[in-house]
Structure formats: structure tokens, C-alpha cells
Amino acid sequence: MNNLPFQIAHIGVPPIKCQGIKTKLVPFIFSNLQWEAKSDARWIEPFLGSGVVAFNLAPQRALLADTNKHIIGLYRAIQMGEMTRGNVREFLQEEGQKLAAHGQEYYYEVRERFNQSASPFDFLFLNRACFNGVMRFNRKGQFNVPFGHKPERFAPAYITKIVNQVGWVEKQMRGKDWEFRVASWSDILSEAQREDFVYLDPPYIGRHTDYFNAWDNNEAVALAETAHQLSCGFALSMWMENRYRKNEHLEKYWPDTEIKTISHFYHVGSTEDLRNEMSEALAIKPGFSAPAMAKSKSAAPASNQLSLYPM
């Protein structure tokens, strides 16, 4: 368990890919937040997404939620031992051979099967075989991303990488008091207590509006208003600007926070304008920003000495 800030030695990568994944930003986030994780405190994420922040922090207690039932279902399956390194490897080997033999025809067969059964195994397969790692659902909640045009996608080395990611996630949550829940952000924030810390990574205004549920300006404004009423610490990840435009929402609705920024490059996105250099902001509640030039632990405890599993 780590108090914040701390310097993470190695970054672990979860098995799910999605737009806006924070893998490269984990060190930036951890080094800029200040939180003492007391025994009864929970790390709370209402927008879990890939889960990369929570899994790398590995708090003792956590409430991890998303409206995307498939993400929550996959991590619950790993938590409950229903998805393991062994059966994930076996599944991907079998499905990968079928994909190699039949190409996009088989991909769309699996997609149709998933939209009927919601199997976490099929979800993992589609997530790693679809076009450019995009996670997108239609208004009926059906996965609708086209084939990624790589029938030989599941080569032995690639399967091993995914299996290792599943194993790492299982290790990080093992023995921890973590609850995974399908819920709205408003329901989750209503449970936050003074000693908790809330990390907010909502769909970005102007970027990920078709991620799973509709996300519009009204929702974004309501989130800002609610967050400012929290008794505990919080931090919001949000894009600040790129070469095309600035994010006026951040300046207008999060003015009382301390803003830390870093530039990085998005590689996941359906169009070129979503795959470019971006100035990323971390908006932090006053009192929970790490002091400038703070020197935190040079290394994490053994449970957080992670190997970097590439995307």
C-alpha cells in the first residue's frame, strides 16, 4: 500500500485497452497527489476504464465503478477466479486459430455472440482484435467496433503478453478489499467519506462521447459541481489543449483547483485528430497537491515492483 506522492518504479499494464488510457501518465499522477491512505480509507474511481491507475496504486481498500458493465464484469471475473492465466491462454489460442483461418467473418461472429451473451472472454478477444484498440458501443449498448484487419493477431507472444497482464491484475487485487460496481458516478460519489480519495477520469468533452453511455456538457458540469462538494480529496484528469483547440470547460468549471500539466501523445483513437500530442491536466483539490519538488519514496513496496507489460 502506498501513500501519495510516491515514485513508481515500473508501470503495469492491464489487459483492457480503451481511449484515453492513462498508462504513461501514472507516474505524473502519483507524483502530484498527496493522500495518506489510512486503514479505513478507500481509493474511489467512478470512471474505472482500463483500471490502470487503481491497479498500479494497489490500495488496500477501493471502490471501483463504471457504467460499462463489460469492464466491471471482466475484472470481477478475474477477482473471483473465473478468468485465470490458464483459461485465458487456452481461450485465446483457440479463438486466435479460428480468426487466423476465417478472418473478419469470424471476428463478426464473435462480436454478435458477445452482444448476446456478454462473455468477458469474448470481450477481451474483441478488445484486442478490433480496429485500433477503440472501445465503442452503440445506443443499444452493443459493441460495434469493426475488425482490425489482422487475422494473425493472436500470435503466441501476443497471447503470452495478454495472459501476463491478466496475471498481474489478479496479483494486484489479491487479498485486497476491492469492490467492483456497475454504477453511475453520482451514486458512487454519494458514498465518499472524508478519509477517502476520489480519482476522476470521465469521458473527455469533445473526445469520447460514444465510449459507452452518452456524456454531454450537462453531465460534465454536474460532475464538477458535485466534486467541489466532496469532503475528501479528489483529482480530475482532463485534456487541456492540443494543436487544434483548448478545453474551455476546464477553466470554467474547475477554477478553484490546482492544475498540473504534462504533454503526451495519444496512440489510441478512431481518427487522426484523436491521436496527437495533448496537454493533459490534473486538477487537484486544494490541500491534496504534492508540494513542489517533494521527494517521495524512491521505490514502492515489493507488491508494487511491477514489470512493464507493453500494450
**pLDDT of 296 above 80:** no
Partnered with residue 261 across adjacent β-strands are 281
Q: Return the C-alpha cell found at 261.
A: 500539466
What is the mean predicted confidence (pLDDT) over 206-225? 76
Distance (Å, whole) CA 288 – CA 171: 29
Partnered with residue 283 across adjacent β-strands are 236, 259
More confident residue, 269 or 130: 130
| pLDDT class of 303 with cuts at 50, 70, 90 | very low
Q: Return the C-alpha cell found at 297.
A: 519514496
What 3-state DSSP class applies to 94? helix
Q: Return the C-alpha cell found at 211.
A: 465510449
Among 69-73, 204-208, 259-263, which stretch is predicted with the lowest mean pLDDT?
Answer: 204-208
- Model confidence pLDDT, tens digit, residues 149-188: 999 999 999 999 999 999 999 999 999 999 999 999 999 9
Would you say 261 and 246 are in contact if contact means Cβ atoms under 8 Å apart?
no
Q: Return the C-alpha cell found at 210.
A: 460514444
* Predicted local distance difference test score (pLDDT) of residue 43: 98
Residue 208, H or E segment: none
**pLDDT of 297 above 80:** no
pTM of the model: 0.88
Q: Return the C-alpha cell found at 106.
A: 469470424
Q: Return the C-alpha cell found at 111.
A: 462480436
- Model confidence pLDDT, tens digit, residues 246-282: 889 999 999 999 999 998 765 544 455 455 677 999 9
